[in-house]
Structure 1
């Protein structure tokens, strides 16, 4: 069925792909590396415009008055080229610009300003960072930025932590709001199935750290904005890719894309399989992405996305220290062992989103998005069997108005968001991987929404001031249809609406350096999985977390150096923590407050920039995170844990890389990661060892004539063959804390693009 759908989509696009046009064509490459550049804006002196595709090619309809063409791309120096008299193909070499940080445009906070004009702790994971690795997941790419840790308890079982937010995330993603193309991807019940996406689907990631409730609703951890892959204007191509690696890793990608000046359609199918480093850790994932954008008029732009996912992955379970030392490749054993009980998760879902931006005038525009999703989950666990079905819809809309208050340029933003989800949740006995007697049968309705307003002012002395406020509300309605030994009943939980303000100031110290400071508050209600645990127990006393964040930073560039430094102090009240009971089910409770102080640093320096030499470009980069996170007012039974280190947070984390490129198209990327020892339980009696790992990828990417682009690559992860645990089980019962990561492993692959 999936293959037929892909073929039908290709056939629909084929007529458009084959239309011949009388156009001027050429291609644009990096002057240092000779690699194709995607997304270059190509503008003739007459105003005709095009965008280069993934192979660097552009197609422009010239007129008789066309004399020259301008080429512009963020991070590169603009270039003007005279129109060739003979109509031959144009080859353009763009020089990298050291002022790249100044031009990166931030979509978060609804500002669409360059990074140097945005007040806030923000990290960008671009497409190049994702492609540094084998694209089996986003984990290693995300872990190159400061203040953020992404972990895998098992392949395809992700945990995302922003400034310690993994404290309440035994599995999955909590306390972090995720959007895909501006549309909510985090569900109304507070959970995020990030594993339904493939790394190849993502064009870029924008990470806003700390409370951002003034714009994105409830959440004290942060916000992640995912941008999908898109077809560039003038792009008409078919791309095929294949990667294979250690422990049975296989990945196949097929992409068809077609773009013009006012429309783009990209259809991508990915298939990923993995036999697993450990017992009971196989993965099988299929993802179909349809990403499109249309501009039917000068006033209207419409985006439409469809994501269909079919995912199966196994859960090997946590190991004790003795088991970890004896054989890290084993799965959890015993009477309720992972292999015996077929501990695994099957997820099948479809997510459909539609977004429109309408420009009423130069000063007023509206962005409105609607979405719907359907998801089915089948989860045999070590001690029970869970089967859920989710249906959800939601909408988000915002108006932005630009005006002048005297001599002060101002922007006012007003909007809201609403989500409603319905879940049919059933738990059974697990009889060696098959459902047994029914334990509980629940219907859960989750409703969440917020209204927000923001004002931004460009003050004298190059100061930008921002004030924002949101009103957040969340409600759960749980109807228990059946429970062994108990009657039917209803449970409603309506969390009190909370105001979340944010105030920020930014000062331009020069055209290359800016400083910023902000104060913001956050509100994070429990997720449905925290109130209704997997064994069917209702946690009726759980309260929402509330916190306030103070932050200051400086960023900029000087010649070949770019840098970004942020310091923060975050105080969280009614902190939610997780612990495992005897059946390994995670249970949650409020434990007072935490004090979280930290420093985040990132920098990059270009060591060599000589396009004429064979070794044309050498760049070094790095990031560092310092976390002084402590529990406050934490009383556990008779034991006072106040002052203990925050569970699951390493005090020191660093990443660094070294990149080489040649004129011929050969490249080498070296990446290193260091994680300090971290506490695995609230008592701070068990710690995970510190580790340092290295990875490398090398390849060559070349144009083969005017139609083909070929890339051949290979890589190795964990070169040091370090034994470490990535995605530890916090406060695990029976000492099963450790989820071992693979030892030294290899991969290689090929990507082929054909221009139609």
Structure 2
């Protein structure tokens, strides 16, 4: 009874916030709703060749702002107000952002799990399902598509949701843009972007972007610096084919302040635990990748698509594992050092109108990675901490998958359409142990699942679409999640099983004079869900839970209110619970307990004045419900509402464009927790968010 009363109060409070607050347009199609002469933008993520308002799925488009209004480093600056997307900034560049969709991915203590990420069609998620947002270049970003719900299963393993980022293509005259932004905590970001369109047939258009960011960090021991380079060449050939060649490089050096106990957070959210300084906890990341996409229309009815990529990722991480623990013969030490090569390809054929009112796509995706993983003590023979010591782990890990898939769309009546798909996802793991002093821990395993999906949509009237959809989901454990056993024994946890889910959604979409509305209700039932067992001294272990359930409601609205005044609002309610009893490091967990790391209610609103040139300004508010920290639900990060404002001016004078801005986040200096470390065995669950902070910047563009 009380639980229902609290839920009702939270829903009403969030809906009141939506009613009072309005915000800027998030979707490209808001302009289309009012100005029919504009071209209709088609959804890319679902391969259905439909507009956003006619796509039977929860898919949202986020355009890069035409005026810079933020420092341009984290995805949290751009992706805002997507219902049921929880994107938390840890204020810790050693661990990346914390990203989950409809509760999938919330278990991650670092990096991204359960969500597929792509940049220009090239995976930013490794073949084992672990991804990172750090290589998405906001300086050259054109737009993102966020796909939640059943349709995301078309992307195979670990696709509880999908984010597809697309960078700009060179166009028009050659130009150079130089920018600098700075702000609180000694943040600074310098960038240069060169771009230009093709000067002759079969010559490439180009965009070359480079930036350098550094900060002292909001908390003690949280300084970081980041180099990010991105280059994109585009050929539109005379035979109608199109080629994109993208190369990306990122290098990050970041201190890790780790989490705080509640008492330490309340005492001083800026502090780091003493062991962070003792062991000099930090991470060094260097990644280089390149890939090519090719699209070729054969005739009016047939098209070919191909993508291939290759990359290398090297990571060294220094952890705060006590010396006495590292002395255990089965312990892999306090330094993780791996060098990973990864590569893959995707080939697809699309046929349109081969049968009346149908579209069919068939393809196959191939991905592979090989990893040289080592572990070392985080101390040397002289007793110095924070240095690479004696070798404690040495293995070669390989993984590969070959996923065939088929997708079809059939307009079987003037207002009814059926979209179906099926993908056979299979993943093969192997580990060869070369550190044999504690036994041979080599092993291998493989997982496979057939993933069907279907969506039935009805265009009730031209302004209103209704749909219902279903899909089977599949998520394998990543190498990192398998790296350690819950019992402390050496070797991989090959007993960790993949999870499978049944995902249902019913939704409405409406584009009318009042704006663009989406409403969706969903339910996901998961078997063998991969959840956190415990995180001790920075090392996370995982286990399976027989059953979990996620269900909820999502709402979004956006509109051009008047001239350049734009508004956006969204709300989501997500009830995520364990659907069976199980045992964890917290003890026995009963059915009905909330899954930690997931907020039940979220709301966002923004109002912005955004002309092409001149003064621009915006105000936004974000509400996040409390988030439980462990399986026992013994404590929670409190709910919060934060507000931000920005203002700027954009000049355009002949060949010159100048953009200035200033921004204040957490305007009312709210002390809140940005994210939590689920089931932390040391009680350091809380990762504090930054207090009131500001940034300002200037960019100058010159055309030639």
Fold match by TM threshold 0.5: yes
CA distance in 2, matches of 1:75, 1:591: 42
Judged with a 3 Å threshold, the aligned counterparts in structure 2 of structure 1 residues 99 and 602 are, in CA distance, closer, same or farther, namely farther
Q: Distance in 1 between matches of 2:318 and 2:38?
A: 47
- How far apart are the structure 1 equivalents of 2:402 and 2:618? 43
8 A contact 2:220–2:270 mirrored in 1 = yes
Map 1:33-432 to 2 at 5 A.
Answer: 97=34, 103-128=40-65, 131-156=68-93, 157-212=96-151, 215-232=154-171, 234-260=172-198, 263-333=204-274, 337-383=275-321, 384-405=334-355, 408-431=356-379, 432=385
Question: 1:649 matched to which residue of 2?
Answer: 598
Going from structure 1 to structure 2, the CA distance change for 1:101 and 1:162 (only over 3 Å counts) comes to farther
Change (3 A) 1:664 1:353: closer
User: What's the counterpart of residue 411 of structure 2?
Assistant: 458
The separation in 2 between residues aligned to 1:507 and 1:99, in whole angstroms, is: 22
- How far apart are the structure 1 equivalents of 2:395 and 2:411? 52
Counterpart-to-counterpart distance in 2, 1:583 and 1:283: 21
Deviation by residue 1:165-196 (Cα, 9 ceiling, x = unmatched): 13331211111111111122211222113213
- The SS at the match of 1:591 is strand
Corresponding residue to 2:504 among 550, 555, 561: 550
C-alpha displacement at 1:404, in angstroms? 4.7
> Per-residue deviation at 1:140?
3.8
**How far apart, CA to CA, are the structure 2 residues paired with 1:100 and 1:174?**
41
Residue 669 of structure 2 aligns to a residue whose secondary structure is coil
Q: Bigger relative contact order, structure 1 or 2, given CA contacts below 8 A and separation 6+?
A: 2
How far, CA to CA, are the matches of 1:195 and 1:142 in structure 2? Answer: 14
Asked whether the 8 Å contact 2:666–2:692 carries over to 1, the reply is yes
Q: Aligned pair in 2 of structure 1 residues 387, 290: CA closer, same or farther (>3 Å)?
A: same
Return the alpha-carbon distance in structure 2 between the equivalents of residues 664 and 208 of structure 1: 32
- By how many angstroms is 1:662 displaced? 6.0
For 1:386-420, what per-residue CA distance to the aligned partner results, in whole angstroms no more than 9, with x for missing partners? 11101111000110011253xx3111100010111
Of 518, 543, 565, the match for 1:618: 565
- 1:710 aligns to 2:658 (yes or no): yes
* Secondary structure of 2:368's aligned partner: strand
Contact 2:149 2:522 in 1 (8 A): no
* CA deviation after TM superposition for structure 1 residue 151, in Å: 1.6
1:727 pairs with 2:675:
yes
Query: 1:243 Cα shift?
Result: 0.2
Alpha-carbon distance in structure 1 between the residues aligned to 2:67 and 2:669: 22
- Cα deviation, 1:468-490, whole Å, max 9, x if unaligned, reads 1110100111011005x413342
Relative to structure 1, is the Cα distance of residues 248 and 365 closer, same or farther in structure 2, using a 3 angstrom cutoff? same
Give the root-mean-square deviation of aligned CA atoms: 2.1
1:165 match: secondary structure: coil
Contact 1:584 1:733 in 2 (8 A): no
Which residue pairs with 1:32 in the alignment? none
Please state whether the residue corresponding to 2:134 is helix, strand or coil.
helix
Residue 521 of structure 1 corresponds to which residue in structure 2?
472
Return the offset for 1:220. Answer: 4.6
- 1:564 to 1:498, Cα distance in 2 relative to 1, 3 A: same
Q: Say if 2:149 and 2:505, in contact at 8 Å, map to a contact too.
A: no
Partner deviation per Cα, 1:541-567 (whole Å, 9 max, x = no partner): 100000011101111222142111111
Supply the distance in 1 between the matched residues of 2:193 and 2:460 (Cα, whole angstroms). 45
Q: For the Cα contact (< 8 Å) 1:480–1:488, is it kept in 2?
A: yes
Deviations 1:284-341 (A, max 9, x none): 11111111110222332111000011111111001001100111101122xxx11221
Distance 1:379 1:728 in 2: 20
SS of residue in 1 equivalent to 2:46? helix
Partner of 2:440: 488
Structure 1 counterpart SS, 2:106: helix
Gaps of 5+ in 2: 1-27, 322-333, 380-384
Alpha-carbon distance in 2 for matches of 1:683, 1:101: 53
Alignment of 1:424-443 (within 5 A): 424-431=372-379, 432-443=385-396
C-alpha distance in 2 between matches for 1:685 and 1:533:
26
Distance verdict in 2 for CA 1:205–1:130, change over 3 Å: farther
Do the aligned partners of residues 130 and 143 (structure 1) sit closer, same or farther apart at CA in structure 2, a change above 3 Å counting? Answer: farther
1:743 has 2:691 as partner: yes
Q: Is the 8 A contact 1:689 1:724 kept in 2?
A: yes
Query: Is this contact kept in 1: 2:90–2:98, CA < 8 A?
Result: yes
Which range moved further: 293-302 or 466-475? 293-302
Q: Secondary structure at the match of 1:167?
A: coil
Per-residue deviation, 1:581: 4.5
CA-to-aligned-CA distance 1:554-592 (integer Å, 9 cap, x gap)? 112221421111110111110111133443311000011
Q: Which among 507, 518, 523 is matched to residue 564 of structure 1?
A: 518
CA spacing shift, 1:664–1:409, aligned 2, 3 Å: closer
Counterpart contact for 1:130–1:199, Cα < 8 Å: no
Is 2:542 aligned against 1:585? no
Q: How many residue pairs get matched?
A: 650
Alignment partner, residue 557 of structure 2: 603
CA deviation after TM superposition for structure 1 residue 651, in Å: 1.1
Q: Secondary structure at the match of 1:322?
A: helix
Q: Distance in 2 between matches of 1:719 and 1:100?
A: 39
- 1:153 deviates by 2.5
| Deviation for aligned residue 1:132 | 4.3
Kindly state the Cα deviation for residue 663 of structure 1 after the two structures are TM-superposed: 8.4
Kindly indicate whether the alpha-carbon contact (under 8 Å) linking 1:429 and 1:439 is maintained by their aligned counterparts in 2.
yes
Partner of 1:471: 424
